[in-house]
Amino acid sequence: MNRTQRIILYVLLLVAGASWIVLSADPADQPGTAAPEVVPQTGFLAPDFTLQTLDGESITLSDLRGQAVLINVWATWCPPCKAEMPAIEKMYNEYKDQGFVVLAINSTFQDAAGDIAPFVAEYDLTFPILLDETSDVSRTYMVRSLPSSYFIDRQGIISEVVVGGPMAEALLRTRIEEALK
């Protein structure tokens, strides 16, 4: 490779690198864009939301302050979601009298709404099933994979984020007991 070819190669690499930097920049870092007020990760206050249940009741996360909460974002078509539901139901029944609440948020915007009630009946779920019909909560919580779970302590702080699943009963028990402290 002669000197001219090397210079052309280096220029092309520099142009490609600069293009990559510009195209992959996070829009939140751009001037004039607001960063989220609350980041949904361990150690941060859980972002508040209000969603409707299957029965039309409204549930607001901040109204549950003082209780330990598991937010589990799921869909009926998701195999790991199906696999972990019996363990979540078991832990809910075991710890609900100690102030533990499960908010199972269905990703309704990417699920078949008609499949939700039969799913709940099949797994005999007794905790609240919330409907994220507009994907607002999924966007706020930056859900990238189903299931995604957020353990929230009594002060409203996220104590653990678990992406993917299924969660084992032992993991659930440990995280719930930590959130209940």
pLDDT surpasses 90 at 1:
no
Q: Which helix (H) or strand (E) holds 105?
A: strand 100-106
pLDDT of 35 strictly over 50: no
Tens digit of each residue's pLDDT (9 = 90 or more) over 153-174: 999 999 999 998 898 999 999 9
In a domain, 137, yes or no: yes
Contacts of residue 40, Cβ cutoff 8 Å, sequence gap at least 6: 46, 47, 140, 141, 142, 150, 158, 161
Beta bridge partners of 148: 73, 163
Q: Rounded to whole angstroms, how far apart are CA atoms 125 and 50?
A: 21
Residues 58 and 133 both lie in one domain? yes
Q: Classify residue 110: in a domain, yes or no.
A: yes
d(CA 70, CA 150): 6
Residues 72 and 154 in one domain: yes
Tokens of residue 134, six digits: 């507009």
Kindly tell me if the per-residue pLDDT of 16 is higher than 80: no
pLDDT at position 38 over 60:
no
Same domain, 31 and 76: no
Residues 56 and 114 placed together within one structural domain of the fold: yes
Query: CA 52 → CA 63, 104, 132, distances in Å?
Result: 14, 11, 8
Q: Are residues 28 and 63 in the same domain?
A: no
Note whether residue 84 is domain-resident.
yes
Same domain, 2 and 86: no
Q: Which residues are bridge partners to 152 per DSSP?
A: 69, 158
Question: Which tens digit of pLDDT belongs to each residue from 41-76?
Answer: 888 899 999 999 999 999 999 999 999 999 999 999
Q: What is the pLDDT of residues 103-115, one digit of tens each?
A: 999 998 888 888 9
Higher-confidence residue of 143 and 11: namely: 143
Does the pLDDT value for residue 22 go beyond 70? no
H or E segment and range at residue 50: strand 50-53
97 and 161 housed in the same domain: yes
**Cβ 89 vs Cβ 126: under 8 Å:** yes
Q: State the residue range of the domain holding 27.
A: 1-35
Whether the CB-CB separation of 128 and 59 falls below 8 Å is answered with yes
Looking at the structure, do residues 19 and 57 belong to the same domain, yes or no? Answer: no
Nearest to 132 by CA among 148, 153, 118, 121: 148
What is the rounded average pLDDT of the residues 173-178? Answer: 92
**Cα 175 from Cα 70, distance rounded (Å):** 9
Q: Hey, how many other C-beta atoms are within 10 angstroms of the C-beta on 82?
A: 18
Q: How many domains does the chain have?
A: 2
**Are residue 26 and residue 61 in the same domain, yes or no?**
no
